[in-house]
Structure 1
């Protein structure tokens, strides 16, 4: 796996930067969930985080339903206007963890190697 630098992973997916000629390409983040891959800039990943939060808020009305974690009725918009995903609440939570974990690790590394350095 020399051609990628992993950022974050969970049971549902992974995120990483691609490498080219031993240089880490940090301008875009590859995010893989199920069989779908997205190649987002950091700004697009932030937008995707907002889409996840919006979908979660719109679909929290099913809290009392016994199928809420397995039903594929939730529509998750993406920063790509042509692509929406149908996900269960369990998958929505996993994608949320993947995106937030990715952003956290990127920001932490940037801080530790930037202004946080003594």
Structure 2
């Protein structure tokens, strides 16, 4: 893990950026890893993913007789041809992971940008 800069993590996954020492790495992109998937995204794509997650959270399965852990929520990813299925618990944890990542990125932008007057 010495080649990465950890941005945010929770019990579902983590988000990191490759250090400048890694050849051919795109330093603008953030690696978001959860479950058995990994996305290599720009900050704008993570923001779009966050919007998709917020939209999916309106899905209500309270009347469902199936187990709450069933993966009945289809979530659009930033990749046009890829969606993933999640349960409500995973969706909540993924929301925390993505929102925490965006918060940390915005905080870094502020500290190293506008806040450096």
Structure 2 length normalisation: TM-score? 0.88
Q: Report the equivalent of 1:103.
A: 102
Larger % of strand: which? 1
Q: Which residue of 1 aligns with 2:39?
A: 38
Q: CA deviation at 1:96?
A: 0.4
Matched with 2:85 is 86
The CA distance in 2 between the partners of 1:7 and 1:67, in whole Å, is 36
SS in 2 for 1:8: strand
**Would you say 1:55 and 2:56 are equivalent positions?**
yes
Q: Look up the SS of the partner of 2:56 in the other structure.
A: helix
Is the Cα contact below 8 Å between 1:5 and 1:16 reproduced in 2?
yes
What is the RMSD of the two structures over their aligned residues, measured on CA atoms? Answer: 2.1
Q: Aligned equivalents of 2:88 and 2:22: distance in 1?
A: 39
Unaligned runs of 5+ in 1: none
Query: What is the rounded CA distance, in whole Å, between the counterparts of 1:72 and 1:104 in structure 2?
Result: 27
User: C-alpha separation between the residues in 1 aligned to 2:30 and 2:36?
Assistant: 16
Note the C-alpha offset of 1:86. 0.6
CA contact (8 A) 2:69 2:87 kept: yes
Q: Deviations over 1:55-108 (max 9, x none)?
A: 112x1x223557564121110111111111110000000000000000000100
Alignment TM-score, normalising by the size of structure 1? 0.88
CA distance in 2 between counterparts of 1:41 and 1:84 reads 18
Report what 1:71 is aligned to: 70
